[in-house]
Chain A
Amino acid sequence: MPTDETPGEEHAEGLNSLEIALRQLTPQGGQIDRDRLMYLAGQASAMNFDSQISPARNAPRVRHSQNSWRLATAALALVSIALGGLLLRSTPRENDVIQVEPPRVAGEGAVALYPPADLPMLPSAVGHGAEYFQLRNLVLTRGIDGLRESSVAGRPATSKSTLLMLPALRQELLGPES
């Protein structure tokens, strides 16, 4: 008998014996399936753990986020499919490739496209540079008369410096005998 439960005076002994006798009775166990209950308890505990990770109050936000990702994934998949279809339907365009043939080595039957490196520079061009070649082109295209109307390097073709190049030009075009 617990200490905080002092029984009535005259019947204390009788109640004590009645308590002891009643305690010997075993309550009838219910129809609870112990194994199933333990399984369900474990399941409930696991679900509770999951809800701690993503509490129920956050469930709408989580669902919204999941839907957003699904929509974005679906949209990207559609765009990819459309682009793939366009790529397959389009005809292949000819590429603008400029083919530069390397200069062939001069040999038998070959044509030299570039002047050989050992070609000596004309002595008439020495000391006049680009002005000489401009003058030569002018004479070749317009003739000797074109000198009166045109200019070379910003100066009149009949200027003194231009006239100094004429002997060399005549020698180149007409030969040394002229």
Chain B
Amino acid sequence: MNAPGPELLGRLLDEHAAALTLLARQWCSTPDDIVQEAFLQLSRQKDCPRDAAAWLYRVVRNGAISAARAESRRQRHETAAAAQTHRWFAETPGEMAIDAQAAAAALAQVSLEEREVIVAHLWGGLTFVQIAELMNSTSSTVHRRYQAGLWTLRNLLGEPCLPTKLPAKNMPKD
């Protein structure tokens, strides 16, 4: 297997950089550095990982956790993260079913474990099996956390009003 080439790096960067940043943002206050270092780490690999995207999520998660530990801000991070939720989602012009800031604020109230699963699955496009490997857990546990987190979000946001059938983005394959 060859080292990851610039085409693969560019594609992964375009498709996953934002979601990776959002995932790292759940843990630490320097998500860009974590994501950038993960991509550099990938480029240094002699052999490209079989699933480069899942590999990136694992590296970013581990890096973000390490950064959070180094910063010793784990306890304060919950409030800090909630204060910075305006940076979680981009403002998209046009009619949206859910307000971006409201969704970010609600997501910030979900527990970290559930939030990680939701971010990795909804915006990262990882399957529950991949997320289970990422979190050293089982797919059933991951799925349970996902459902619980969605339930919490639904209670906070209410039933979304979908005016039309919206196409799903980053839909996992399985």
Contacts and interface: CB of A to CB of B under 8 A. Distances in A.
Interface of A: 2-5, 7-8, 11, 14-15, 17-32, 34, 37-38, 40-42, 44-45, 47-48, 52
Interface residues on B, range: 35 or more
A51 B87 CA distance: 39
B153 interface: yes
B174 A3 contact: yes
Given A18-B157, A27-B21, A29-B21, A37 B46 contact: no
B6 A29 contact: no
A41 B8 CA distance: 12
Interface string B140-174: 00010011001101100101101000101111111
A171 B170 CA distance: 138
Interface of A (DSSP majority class):
helix
B174 A4 contact: yes
Nearest to A34: B13
Interface in B23-54: 31-32, 35-36, 39-40, 42-46
11 contacts: A2-B127, A18-B160, A19-B150, A21-B98, A22-B103, A22-B153, A26-B89, A28-B88, A29-B18, A34-B13, A45-B3
Contact of B170 (A4, A23, A31, A38): A23
Interface of B: 3, 6, 9-10, 13, 17-19, 21-22, 31-32, 35-36, 39-40, 42-46, 87-90, 92, 96-98, 100, 103, 118, 122-123, 127-129, 139, 143, 146-147, 150-151, 153-154, 157, 159-160, 162, 166, 168-174
B87 to A, nearest CB: 5
A18 B40 CA distance: 35
Contacts of B22: 27-28
B29 to A, nearest CB: 12
B44 A4 contact: no
A26 B43 CA distance: 26
Given A27-B21, A27-B90, A32-B36, A7 B147 contact: yes
B159 A44 contact: no
Nearest to B86: A28
A157 B32 CA distance: 124
A4 B128 contact: yes
Given A28-B89, A30-B17, A38-B10, A5 B153 contact: no
Contact of B151 (A11, A25, A34): A11
